[in-house]
Amino acid sequence: MEETTDRINRALAREEIRAERVAGTVRLIVLLIFACIELLNVGSLSIEASIMNASVLLAGCMYGFIVLFRIRRRGYHPVMKYVTSCLDVVLIFLLLLMYTRIEIPSVALKNYVFLVVFPIIALTAFRYDRMLTLTAGGLAIALYLALISYLYLSKSISFTHGGYEQELFSPAVTYVGQLTKVLILAGFVIIVAYLAEYSRRLFVKLVQEESNLRYQKDLTDWELRVASEVQTKLLPHSFPEIENLDVFATVRQGRLVGGDYCDILKLNDHLVLLVTADVSGKGVPAGLIMAEVRASIQLLAPLNIPLENLTQRLNTLLHQSTTKKDFVTFFVAEIDTQRAVLRYVNAGHPPPLISSQGEFRSLSQRTIPLGLYPSLPQCTMAEEEFSPGSLFVSFTDGLLEQTDLQGEQYGEERLRVFVQTHTDLDVQPFTHELLNELKTFGQGKEFNDDVGIAVAKFRKTSAA
């Protein structure tokens, strides 16, 4: 709350400085216009009137420049708005008072210079300060009443009971004319004061909403960072040791929280489970479903159940706990180094690649993604030879869908070429080289989507 109040006060202070500069600029422009009018009419005015006009214009210009110089050199102080607004009003009535000395006093009361009071009071609304408007407007009313009273008490004028025609088209001063003039000025002051207060409330509301949005954004960013840190801890950081088998997996998130998941679990000394999954959607919802997938895999893997049963159970859990629009592409592989085989189930996931005995092939899709229906149709386990020297690469669709600056996707063909030309690398350098190539293809831009990669390589033994 205090932070919001401080933000509002700072914003109002900035607006006051801006408004004061605008008012100062407008003041100088208006004075320049009056100076031009004065020059155009100098031939029709008396010397006394020209001197008075020039004196007031000079005084207005001088303090106008002083105010702008003061703001530029020493900064703005809130009291300045009262000083400048009241000085503007005082200068106008000082000029009207001087007119009564050289003109018919009653005509001086009707001089067009009086109209300048209205834009001066209107400018106070841009400070969002009702009290400033009431002060400047009240001063204008008081000075006008004081001018009338002075002229009446000095017997320079006398009031009549005539109407507007007599007030407007003769030197006479009427009660109805002067009362109307004061009431119009008072009404204008009240309206501008209301607008100043309304503008202030509106400005405060906008600043509060902006502060709330900023707070919500900061809170959301903090929550996303925490969620990202938690999710990072859920991803594999160490990998099981299996004789003659090298394994590695990583996930590079395209945003703070993603839905890609890779894991490698040791089942026994010669059996390892590799999982690659991709949750539909992005952000925290996908991250939560990914966490559920991971927790389920951690619970189901030690049961040593067939892969198709594991997949069916995971599908049931996801179907019960997610909405119809949520689904998970899922690939699970079981590498048996003792029998030199790889068994797998593919549930709507991009087909992984395998290189074995000089042959290069993909592990095609067998069933639909998880979570769409209570049961998976045609969910069967397939088996491939995985002899020493074989390489297995599983990935999420973010790898294939990474684009360059022209919008062209990396695609499966480029991936096949990379795998075929880098089979001699160990699994960790292989993965890093693949990620580097992907980033080079994207010409340095961030990944469009999360990228998950799991790699396994059956090392050749000396006997082999």
Shared domain check, 397 and 268: yes
Q: Measured between alpha carbons, how far is residue 167 from residues 142, 164, 180, 232 in Å?
A: 21, 5, 11, 85
Domain count, the chain: 2
- Over residues 134-170, the pLDDT tens digits come to 999 999 999 999 999 999 898 888 888 888 878 777 8
Shared domain check, 285 and 136: no
Shared domain check, 200 and 286: no
pLDDT at res. 321? 87
Strands 382-385 and 359-362: unpaired
pLDDT at res. 309? 94
Shared domain check, 419 and 331: yes
Shared domain check, 110 and 34: yes
Give the domain range for residue 375: 239-458
Residuewise pLDDT in 10s, the chain (464 residues): 566 677 777 777 777 777 777 777 777 777 777 777 777 777 776 777 777 777 777 777 777 677 767 767 776 677 878 888 888 898 888 888 887 877 778 877 888 778 888 988 988 888 788 999 999 999 999 999 999 999 989 888 888 888 887 877 788 888 998 999 999 999 999 999 999 899 888 888 887 787 778 778 777 677 667 666 666 666 666 788 888 899 999 988 766 566 788 899 999 989 999 999 998 877 777 778 888 888 899 899 888 899 999 999 999 999 998 887 889 999 999 999 999 999 999 999 999 999 887 788 898 877 999 999 999 998 999 999 999 999 999 999 889 988 888 889 999 999 999 998 998 899 999 999 999 998 888 887 777 778 899 999 998 765 44
Q: Report the Cα 305 to chain-centroid distance in Å.
A: 50
Instruction: State which of 197, 214, 231 marks the end of a domain.
Output: 214
Shared domain check, 271 and 205: no
Q: Is residue 96 part of a domain?
A: yes
Q: Is residue 223 part of a domain?
A: no
Shared domain check, 81 and 14: yes
Instruction: State which of 145, 179, 214 marks the end of a domain.
Output: 214
Shared domain check, 267 and 133: no
Q: Is residue 83 part of a domain?
A: yes
CATH code: domain of residue 386: 3.60.40.10
Q: Is residue 227 part of a domain?
A: no
Contacts of 237 (CB under 8 A, 6+ apart): none
pLDDT at res. 2? 61
Handedness of CA 117, 119, 124, 128 (dihedral sign): positive
Shared domain check, 250 and 133: no
Q: Is residue 229 part of a domain?
A: no
Shared domain check, 248 and 207: no
Q: Which residue's entry shows tokens 């293809």? A: 441
Measured between alpha carbons, how far is 35 from 64 in angstroms, rounded to an integer?
15
Shared domain check, 149 and 94: yes
28-62: b (≥16 Cβ within 10 Å) or e: bebbeebbeebeeeeeeeeeebbebbeebbeebee
Confidence (pTM)? 0.60
Instruction: State which of 165, 198, 214 marks the end of a domain.
Output: 214
Q: Is residue 221 part of a domain?
A: no
Q: Report the Cα 191 to chain-centroid distance in Å.
A: 36
Q: Is residue 233 part of a domain?
A: no
Shared domain check, 121 and 20: yes
Q: Is residue 219 part of a domain?
A: no
266: helix, coil or strand? strand
